Structure 1
Amino acid sequence: MRRKFLIALLAGASLVAASIVPLSTSRAIATTLTPIAQSGKQAPVGELKFTGIITSIAISPDGQTLVVASGDGKITAIALDESQPIYTESFVGKPDAVDVSADGEIIAAAIGEEIVLLRLEDGDTIGTLRGHVSDISAIAIAPDNQTLVSVSSGDRTIRLWDLEGESEIEVLGENVGSEITVAYSPDGQFFVTGSIAEDRTIKLWDAKTPQWIKTSSQQPGFIYDVAITPDGQKIVAAVRNFLKVWDFIGGEELLSLKGAQLDLNAIAISPDSRVVATATKEGTIKLWNIATGQLLQTLSGHRGWVLSLVFSPDGRYLYSGAEDKIVKIWQIAPGIRDKGDKG
């Protein structure tokens, strides 16, 4: 997952002007949930309003808690069953990426050059990982909850961390470009990264050695987001205004969809590995059949860049966070999921 590069492309003045407050144990909440009546149109079923641009969102493995990072230096945990905030933690600096461990215990947040570890239950800070010398672009926690990988397009390094020991395991500098996105394979054996600038490639890494394995051909644009399907069979990437899918084992390109001249900012893959959601800087979200490339549904409602997407673990809902300071909640109709199954 990545956000730093895209956020930097937004209105810089508004981000600089965002309120920055010291680290605090305050539980002050500035978030509201607004239910939205359903209609014949594909409207969200609810929305969460915040006081800063939504930079990144993540969901707990039980689907009960949504973690939201915002550009005004806050991380908020939302109890989805009650549609109520649990806590908000404020930081000096802007969280650009968040992830939740597979055991539901830890939140990792990239804030500037550091990674802050928080306890999901109460938001207390339990550790800080330091080593990058430029802002961190993206992070991902390994499925075994033991390791975290981070990438920085600024210092052009990939770093692996021991979460329990809060220590740096390895720094990868060779074969590294301006990486801004990273994702683990579901078995934790591999991770992939995507880069921008002159590189514009997707790289596959052995997470255990750790070593570089191979690099894709140069792509037609920046790789803004990359993911591996939950079944471990495909790599999916947002490559400028292309949606691309590769076979994970053989590396063959299986799908290449070119959209309008609008960059795809973010992607998310359904738990059944059959549907991919894409988001653009105009605020439109689209659902696609990964196997056939069929457009399944278009979701409209955000104003401005959609920076982060995540499906609920049961695949029934999609959450989207955007420049408009809103997280929207979309219900994915069973018929849409069935279309994906038939791909």
Structure 2
Amino acid sequence: MGYATRSRILEKLAIFQQRNHKTTMPENPNQPKEYDAVLGGDSQPPSNAVVLGGLEGVKRRFASTVESQRILALNDALNYGESGLDLVIQALQDESGGVKWAAYSLLLTKTETKVSIALEKFNPYQFFECLRTFKGHSSDIYCVAIAPDGKTIVSGSLDRTIKVRDLVTGESLHTLHGHSSDIYSVVIAPDGKTIVSCSYDSTIKVWDLVTGESLRTLAGHSLSVYSVAIAPDGKTIVSGSADYTIKVWDLVTGESLRTLAGHSSYVVSVAIALDGKTIVSGSYDKTIKVWNIVTGECLCTLAGHSDDVRSVAIAPDGKTIISGSSDKTIKVRDIHRGKLRTIQGHSDDVRSVAIAPDSKTIVSGSRDNTIKVWDIVTGECKCTLQGHSGAVHSVAITPDGKTIVSGSWDTAIKVWGIR
């Protein structure tokens, strides 16, 4: 089914869902209701009417060979109580990917226990595919970030530029020039108005996302800056550098607030917990360190990787640290107890890890040119996304968890999701 057709169907589903929200369970699921088409009389049935026959009529339409009709029949099934709900749950096992996805989308609004159980077993990522590919950078893409509204992508490249694009259309909104060398990391402030970038030129730059204007340059590291993160309050920046240090900055003034020292090699990844109090850093010294952002105290050092730690992320629940390494593994740890679990599956360096908003899903990008989606608890690989012809150096997930964006050494940005 084409994207436009699917969109129209889903729009109609949304209208139906609003109606369903106000509909009480009928006593007899097979008895025609006010939204059914009834034979006889002079009045015309409503355009969105269910075929005569109540739930049995819905089941007949669901048996159609036309996918769009089957999807619309599923939504109508929700008008018929438990029996209709059971039909939608059963549709999660349908042979049609479109029908499965429609059933999944409808059930997300339901709170019944049996729905929760069914959704726990369902893997929506099995339907992910490459929706769009964006070109424009002339060299390797090292970093991508998604704005909080889920509508804008920012990317940084070894071509020394930052590009701002519309996520859906791919339209180039701005190209930012100012760094004098490779750009390793970009992040977007929680208000969606500010970009922060860092570079091999040892500087950090702050930009206006809307206008593309360079607002200020932060200098203080003595060597390349590999990673930046912004605190949830939007007031603080944290950076990791080849000078083995982490610096904490005031975003507005550009003032360096403190320097955290303790790693014995390059600090290539930093992340800030949603509480705004905790920093996690990953280093070429094969360790992860947890820091107090206010005092600068190192709270603990986590070992376990046998090679460089390339990427770290903190789950939205604030309890879990994820790390990706050149040892080809992903490690999952409890931030308080340090309990360790190892996930294996990539055949080369894991260059980037991200955690979905539900805190249950990991997305990883690797030098093996693939993106993998994992269950954070079981370590099961839910799907492998293939399409890049170079190392996937950066992955990001939209705030609604429904779209993945990747940046690669093949100079392409790819958007992955359900067509």
Unpaired stretches in structure 2, ≥5 consecutive residues: 1-96, 99-125
Q: Which has the higher helix share?
A: 2
CA deviation after TM superposition for structure 1 residue 46, in Å: 0.5
Equivalent residue number for residue 340 of structure 1: none
TM-score of the two chains, using structure 2 as the length reference: 0.67
Equivalent residue number for residue 267 of structure 2: 179
In structure 2, what is the Cα distance between the partners aligned to 1:175 and 1:317? Answer: 34
Equivalent residue number for residue 28 of structure 2: none
The percentage of counterpart residues that share the same residue type is 33
Offset from partner CA, 1:14-58 (integer Å, 9 cap, x none): xxxxxxxxxxxxxxxxxxxxxxxx999853011111222111111
Q: CA RMSD in A?
A: 1.9
Given that 1:142 and 1:188 are in contact with CA atoms closer than 8 Å, whether structure 2 keeps it comes out as yes
Given that 2:127 and 2:417 are in contact with CA atoms closer than 8 Å, whether structure 1 keeps it comes out as no
Equivalent residue number for residue 136 of structure 1: 225
Equivalent residue number for residue 297 of structure 1: 383
Given that 2:154 and 2:164 are in contact with CA atoms closer than 8 Å, whether structure 1 keeps it comes out as yes
In structure 1, what is the Cα distance between the partners aligned to 2:282 and 2:418? Answer: 28
Query: Closer, same or farther in 2 for the Cα pair 1:310/1:251, shift >3 Å?
Result: same
Task: Give 3-state SS (helix, strand or coil) of 2:225's partner.
Answer: coil
Given that 1:238 and 1:267 are in contact with CA atoms closer than 8 Å, whether structure 2 keeps it comes out as yes
CA deviation after TM superposition for structure 1 residue 209, in Å: 1.4
Q: Report which structure shows greater RCO (CA 8 Å, sep ≥6).
A: 1
Task: Show structure 1 runs of 4+ deviating over 4 A.
Answer: 38-42
The reply on whether 1:306 has 2:392 as its aligned counterpart is yes
The reply on whether 1:151 has 2:237 as its aligned counterpart is no
* One-letter code aligned to 2:272: Y
In structure 1, what is the Cα distance between the partners aligned to 2:229 and 2:342? Answer: 25
* One-letter code aligned to 1:62: D
Equivalent residue number for residue 282 of structure 1: 368
Given that 1:73 and 1:94 are in contact with CA atoms closer than 8 Å, whether structure 2 keeps it comes out as yes
Q: Which has the higher strand share?
A: 1
Offset from partner CA, 1:260-280 (integer Å, 9 cap, x none): 541111111111111101121
Given that 2:346 and 2:366 are in contact with CA atoms closer than 8 Å, whether structure 1 keeps it comes out as no
Offset from partner CA, 1:56-83 (integer Å, 9 cap, x none): 1111111121101122111111122443
In structure 1, what is the Cα distance between the partners aligned to 2:169 and 2:304? Answer: 46
Query: Closer, same or farther in 2 for the Cα pair 1:170/1:312, shift >3 Å?
Result: same
Unpaired stretches in structure 1, ≥5 consecutive residues: 1-37, 334-343
In structure 2, what is the Cα distance between the partners aligned to 1:171 and 1:270? Answer: 30
* One-letter code aligned to 1:263: D
Equivalent residue number for residue 200 of structure 1: 286
The reply on whether 1:223 has 2:309 as its aligned counterpart is yes
In structure 2, what is the Cα distance between the partners aligned to 1:135 and 1:118? Answer: 19
Equivalent residue number for residue 339 of structure 1: none
Query: Closer, same or farther in 2 for the Cα pair 1:124/1:272, shift >3 Å?
Result: same
Of 187, 191, 194, 1:99 maps to 187
Task: Give 3-state SS (helix, strand or coil) of 1:238's partner.
Answer: strand
* One-letter code aligned to 2:362: V
- Give the number of equivalent residue pairs: 292
Offset from partner CA, 1:141-164 (integer Å, 9 cap, x none): 1111111111112x1111111111
* One-letter code aligned to 2:249: W
Correspondence list, 1:1-343, <5 A: 43-50=129-136, 51-91=138-178, 92-111=180-199, 112-153=201-242, 155-175=243-263, 177-196=265-284, 199-239=285-325, 240-253=327-340, 255-331=341-417
Bigger radius of gyration among the two: 2
